[in-house]
Every structure is written in structure tokens, then in C-alpha cells.
């Protein structure tokens, strides 16, 4: 599945190249240059080599970065679609083939064996049609089941993230800035993707979304949690441990002090109501519908207006460079 997604993304990125060399935005080029400078002492790292190659190829004439205002959400409005009439293709002349001469057929005397073979041939043809149709249905069913199993988890995750986005848009006060699907560089020369991030005067909230259905068993310090749905049961990584890498990437990008960053950057895991906890939920594990109330419990200011502007500028830069950073993120799995 990972190779399929990589191939699709490469095809999408490669389509505009047929009309000219694609140029990245200024924000993407700045992040690439920072990656090159940060790991210049390790020239053999794939991250350094990929960043250097991308910079040389796509940053000769970078596109200016769009302006961002510090508003509730940075989700862009849907662009208007213009109906462009495509030119009609010229009609090709049709070649007229000469008629074949009629040849008089010889009379053939049919035998009982020939009649039997003709009957059997007709029966085989009649049976082949429904059999082939049934075989096509079975093959389609198998393919759909496999595709559903592969993409089912990602589809459910996308639905939960969409639900959380709507809750944040509806309940976040003015002055809170919302980002989704951010790809950030880490201090270990790789990349990580964050489901949702909320920037506010009272802290930065890094939110991991889960859409499991069934009973959930797990403690704050357990490395593996369990989900049980009727007789089906499987384990998954503790989402708090998974979100730790995300919070560390945010601290690295914003250059926050290790002494105070634990009180400024908060890890939050949001489950859909499809889940039912059979063990005690940690304080920072909540349901999606309650995320607004949870965030507004923090009322002690910890950032100045100037800090918020600086943080928003860096996060906007990462959001504008998402396509480039996502490509590097996928390449690290294939390295």
C-alpha cells in the first residue's frame, strides 16, 4: 500500500513537469535549505542528499509564499472551477474498403455426427456466458474485500479527523489557530506527520485521532493497547507514546526551551464515540466531541503576541511546504 501511495504521489507531482520544470514555494525552499544546513556535517544521510537534490532541482526560481492571517483555521477556501471548452477534434476521413467478391459456397451434406457437435457447441456457449459472469462477480468480490481491508483503516481515520476538524471550527475561540496534517522535520533527520495542531495563547495542543470501534483496554504507561469488538481482538501502539514523537517535532521546529516546553506543548489523543474504554482513561485521552471543552480548560497565558506571530509564521511555512515534506516523508520508508 505504501508503494502504491508513493507511486500515485509521484505521478501527481510529475504531471506538471511535462509543461516545464516545477518550482517550489519560497517556504518549501527555506525548509529544504535549513535541512541541508542542519545535516551538512553528515553528507551520507539520505535526508541530506534528498533535500539537496530537491533544492537544486526545484528552487532556482521559487514561487512567492502566500500571506496568512492568524485566524481560526488555515483551511483554504475551495477554488472556483472555470469551465473551459475544449476544442473539438477534427474528423478523420474514413477509408472505404472495396467489397469482397462473393464466392459460391459448395453444398455440404450434414451427417448425424455434425448435428450432434453443433448441439454440443451451442450448449457449451450457453453455459459459458453465465459461468463467466459468475466468475467475474467472484473476482470482483475478492478484489473489493482486499481493497476494503487495506484502505478501511485509513478511511475510518479520515472520517474521524474530519469530525474533529468540524468540532474545532465550531468551538475554538478567536485567537486560536488550527492546522491539520502537518509534516514536520525532527531532530533525528527524519519526518513525522501530525493529525491536528492548535496554537493558542495558553499552549500548543498536538492531537492524535483514533477511530477504533469496540472495547479499549490500556493504561498510560503500557506500550500496547487492545481493542476488542465481539470476538475480534488486536493490539495497537499506545497512542500517547505515538504522539510523543509529534510533540518533540513541534518543540524542535519552534525551538522551544526543554525546561518549559512540557508545560507549553500538550499531547492529546481523541477517540470517536465508537470506542468504549474498559480501563481508566488518562487525563489527556478524550472523545472527539469534548475536545473544545478540554482545550478551553487551559486559561493560563504562556506565550506573548510576538511569540505567537513567530510560531504561526513557522507553522504556516510547514503547511505551505506540505507536498514537498510529504514526499520526503514517504521516501524515508523506502530507504
- The confidence score (pLDDT) of residue 18 equals 41
Grid coordinates representing 185 are 522535520
Domain spans of the chain? 153-312
Q: pLDDT tens for the chain, 335 residues: list them.
A: 444 444 445 444 444 444 456 788 888 888 888 888 888 888 888 888 888 888 888 888 888 766 666 554 444 444 544 444 444 444 444 454 555 555 444 455 556 666 667 667 776 666 667 777 778 887 876 676 665 555 556 687 788 889 999 999 999 999 899 999 999 999 888 899 999 999 999 999 999 999 999 999 999 999 999 999 988 999 999 999 999 999 999 999 999 988 888 899 999 999 999 999 999 999 999 999 999 999 999 999 999 999 999 999 999 999 998 888 888 888 776 65
- The confidence score (pLDDT) of residue 240 equals 96
pTM of the model: 0.64
- The confidence score (pLDDT) of residue 243 equals 96
- The CA distance from 161 to 155, in Å, is 10
Looking at domain 153-312, does it have CATH number 3.40.50? no
From the list 164, 202, 196, 166, the residue with the least C-alpha distance to 304 is 202
- The CA distance from 245 to 35, in Å, is 18
From the list 329, 328, 330, 313, the residue with the least C-alpha distance to 55 is 328
- The confidence score (pLDDT) of residue 19 equals 42
Grid coordinates representing 103 are 464466392
From the list 316, 30, 324, 284, the residue with the least C-alpha distance to 177 is 316
- Residue 7: CB atoms within 10 A of its CB come to 10
From the list 185, 189, 183, the residue with the least C-alpha distance to 44 is 189
Query: HSE on the CB side for 42, CA within 13 Å?
Result: 11
Amino acid at each position: 500500500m505504501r508503494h502504491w501511495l508513493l507511486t500515485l504521489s509521484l505521478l501527481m507531482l510529475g504531471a506538471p513537469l511535462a509543461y516545464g520544470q516545477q518550482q517550489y514555494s519560497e517556504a518549501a525552499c527555506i525548509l529544504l535549505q535549513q535541512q541541508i544546513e542542519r545535516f551538512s556535517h553528515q553528507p551520507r544521510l539520505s535526508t541530506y542528499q534528498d533535500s539537496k537534490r530537491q533544492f537544486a532541482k526545484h528552487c532556482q526560481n521559487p514561487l512567492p509564499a502566500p500571506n496568512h492571517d492568524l485566524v481560526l483555521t488555515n483551511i483554504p477556501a475551495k477554488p472556483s472551477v472555470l469551465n473551459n471548452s475544449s476544442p473539438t477534434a477534427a474528423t478523420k476521413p474514413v477509408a472505404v474498403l472495396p467489397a469482397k467478391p462473393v464466392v459460391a459456397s459448395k453444398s455440404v451434406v450434414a451427417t448425424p455426427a455434425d448435428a450432434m457437435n453443433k448441439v454440443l457447441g451451442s450448449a457449451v456457449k450457453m453455459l459459458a456466458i453465465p459461468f463467466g459472469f459468475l466468475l467475474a462477480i467472484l473476482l470482483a468480490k475478492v478484489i473489493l474485500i482486499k481493497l476494503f481491508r487495506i484502505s478501511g483503516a485509513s478511511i475510518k481515520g479520515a472520517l474521524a479527523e474530519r469530525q474533529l476538524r468540524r468540532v474545532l471550527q465550531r468551538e475554538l475561540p478567536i485567537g486560536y489557530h488550527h492546522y491539520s496534517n502537518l509534516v514536520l522535520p525532527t531532530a533525528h533527520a527524519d519526518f513525522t506527520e501530525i493529525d491536528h495542531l492548535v496554537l493558542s495563547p495558553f499552549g500548543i495542543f498536538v492531537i492524535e485521532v483514533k477511530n477504533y470501534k469496540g472495547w479499549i483496554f490500556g493504561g498510560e504507561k503500557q506500550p500496547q493497547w487492545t481493542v476488542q469488538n465481539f470476538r475480534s481482538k488486536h493490539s495497537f501502539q499506545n497512542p500517547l507514546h505515538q504522539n510523543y514523537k509529534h510533540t518533540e517535532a513541534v518543540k524542535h521546529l519552534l525551538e522551544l526551551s526543554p525546561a518549559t516546553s512540557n508545560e507549553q506543548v500538550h499531547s492529546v489523543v481523541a477517540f470517536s464515540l465508537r470506542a468504549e474504554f474498559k480501563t481508566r482513561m488518562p487525563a489527556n485521552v478524550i472523545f472527539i466531541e469534548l475536545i473544545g471543552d478540554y482545550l478551553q480548560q487551559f486559561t493560563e497565558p504562556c506565550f506573548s503576541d510576538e511569540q505567537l506571530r513567530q510560531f504561526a509564521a513557522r507553522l504556516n511555512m510547514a503547511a505551505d511546504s506540505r507536498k514537498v515534506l510529504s514526499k520526503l516523508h514517504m521516501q524515508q520508508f523506502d530507504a
